[in-house]
Amino acid sequence: MVENRRYRNLLAYLILTIGIVIVAFPVYLAIMASTFDASTIINGNMPLVPGDQAADNYYRTLFIGGSASREPVGMMMFNSFVMAMGIAVGKILISVLSAFAVVYFRFPLRMTAFWIIFITLMLPVEVRIYPTYKIVADLGLLDTYTGLILPLIASATGTLLFRQFFMTIPDELLEASKIDGAGAFRFFKDTLIPLSITTIAALFVIQFIYGWNQYLWPLLITTQSSMQTIVIGIKKMITTQDALTEWNIAMTTAVLAMVPPVLVVIFMQRLFVKGLVETEK
């Protein structure tokens, strides 16, 4: 900025700090709630400093579960992890292959194939939810990881991102490879994939978060509680009669549900920002 007046910067610090406090406060409360027992929370007078029940809450939540459902959240986290990994890896795999085909080959119906994929950008799973459910049910994929994962990797985001990246790779690199005796497979393996590592990682970060946070789809297609994801699990904990809600367990679960994706964002911030900004172009 042109001016460098001190009070202006002080104001900026103040605004940013207030912003951070507002952003952090709900999570702070959840973390506090995860350190008290249920009755302390229920009477509406939860202190804003940590209690002493953290170990007990986290142990019970992870390995035993709430007293109503008795589903250990550890297992839900495992399910969420499998789903998130499956979606991230699956999307990267199919989209890097299709982008390679669309960018580096000319063949009949190339643009048709591209548009078939491209149109899927427009329609999220929410608008075709019941027919998709029916197909997955007909295929016998309810309560399976495959059923959780496959319908959510049908999207154009990755293909477009890779296509865009491949277009920036100089033509001469392929020509040099050709002169060096590399065919399509070698070029893909020796040059294209190593060059795409950052793009792959950025897409992975975004898709992992997307997969971990899925709600409607797992809600519909998981009927057995052993297949529940953590995001579904926590919702079920608080929809029972109000008085029965074990808020300490629910909030502990909420904290556990936030930890993996938030860590990913914080520690892979550069990749996260890159992925977010570029998938939207």
Partner 1 sequence: MEKRALFSSKILPYMLLLPQLAITLIFFYWPASQAVWQSFLLEDAFGLSSEFVGFENYRHLFQQPEYYRAMVTTAVFSSAVAVLSLAVSLLLATQADKQLRFSNGYKTLLIWPYAVAPAIAGVLWIFMFHPTLGTLSRPIKAIGIDWNPMLDANHAMTLLVLSATWKQISYNFLFFLAGLQSIPKSVIEAAAIDGSGPIRRFWTIIFPLLSPTTFFLIVVNIVYVFFDTFGIIDAVTGGGPAGQTTTLVYKVYADGRLGGDLGGSAAQSVILMIIVIGLTAIQFKYVERRVQY
Partner 2 sequence: MAGVTLDTVRKVYTGNVEAVKGVSLGIEDGSFCVLVGPSGCGKSTLLRMIAGLETISGGTVKIGDRVVNQVEPADRDIAMVFQNYALYPHMSVYDNMAYGLKNRGTPKDEIAKRVNEAARILAIEPFLARKPRALSGGQRQRVAMGRAIVRKPQVFLFDEPLSNLDAKLRVQMRVEIKRLQRTLGVTSIYVTHDQVEAMTLSDKLVVMSGGQIEQVGTPSEVYRRPETRFVATFIGSPPMNILPGQVEGPGRVSVGGQSVAVTDMREGLTPGSAIEVGLRPEDVQAGAAGSSALTMNVDFVEELGATQLFHGKVAGSEFVVQASTGQIPADTRQLPLSIDPANVHLFDPQTTKRLGRT
Asked if 180 touches partner 2 (CB under 8 A), the answer is yes
User: Could you tell me the sign of the dihedral formed by the alpha carbons of 175, 193, 162, 279, in that order?
Assistant: negative
Asked if 195 touches partner 1 (CB under 8 A), the answer is no
| One-letter identity of residue 166 | F
CB of 104 to partner 2, least distance (A): 14
Chain residues 214-273 in contact with partner 1, contact rule CB under 8 A: 214-216, 219, 231-232, 234-235, 238-239, 242, 247, 250-251, 254, 257-258, 261-262, 264-266, 269, 272-273
Site map for partner 2, 131-170, x if CB under 8 A? Answer: ---------------------------------------x
CA distance 176 to 178: 5
Residue 166 or 210 having the CB closest to partner 2: 166
| One-letter identity of residue 200 | I
DSSP string, 109-175: THHHHHHHHHHTTT--GGGGHHHHHHHHHHTT-TTSHHHHHGGGG--SHHHHHHHHHHHHS-HHHHH
Q: How many other β-carbons are positioned within 10 Å of the β-carbon of residue 169?
A: 15
Asked if 212 touches partner 1 (CB under 8 A), the answer is yes
Residue 30 or 192 having the CB closest to partner 2: 192
Chain residues 124-183 in contact with partner 1, contact rule CB under 8 A: 124, 126-132, 134-136, 150-151, 153-154, 159, 167, 171-172, 174-175, 178, 183
CA distance 275 to 281: 10
Using CB under 8 A, pick the residue from 175, 215, 216, 263 that binds partner 2.
175
